[in-house]
Amino acid sequence: MSCSMNGPALYELPSAPASWRIALPHTVAAVPVARALVRTALAELEHGADCDTAELLTAELVANAVEHTPGEAPIELVVELMPSGCQVEVHDTDPAPPGDLTRPAGGPPDPWQEHGRGLLLIRALSSSCGHRPTESGKAVWFRLSAVPAQRRRSA
């Protein structure tokens, strides 16, 4: 019989990721719904990722998908929570890659310009981001790292 002593857990989350997958309508009404879903997912598990940033970036991804994807097909929000952080993906039916998500276009963007700031925000505020092809189009994603519980409590 072997007995092992485990030290205190570094994270309050289980090691297996928790995952949500939700279809959203192809309208701007999907944006506040997606924000609320992400906030609820992070709050329910007292997750360490920054709720406000996750909400903001999710809203940008969903708004982008609604605005730049033709057709009426629903978009899909996928939220994965892991001990190291969270990943949010938005799936749409357009295979074309999203503008300047992974590399800047020629020259700095105009901060007063209405379009293009969302992807810049995602690049600036996420720990990583990107896009990948899917069977029905593409998925655009970002990751946020979890903040250790000790730092959250003292903040």
- pLDDT tens for each residue of the chain, 155 residues long: 444 444 444 444 445 568 889 999 999 999 999 999 999 888 866 657 788 999 999 999 999 999 988 889 999 999 998 888 899 999 999 998 887 665 555 555 554 444 556 778 898 999 999 999 999 999 999 999 987 665 544 44
CA distances from 131 to 69, 80, 142 (A): 14, 16, 9
DSSP H or E segment with residue 24? strand 18-24
Measured between alpha carbons, how far is residue 86 from residues 8, 29, 145 in Å? 22, 24, 7
Tokens 């994965």 found at: 80
Residue pair 141/88 in contact (Cβ under 8 Å)? The answer is: yes
Q: Which of 79, 82, 83 is nearest to 41 (CA)?
A: 79
> Is the entire prediction scored with pTM above 0.75?
yes
- Please compute Rg for the chain using Cα positions: 17
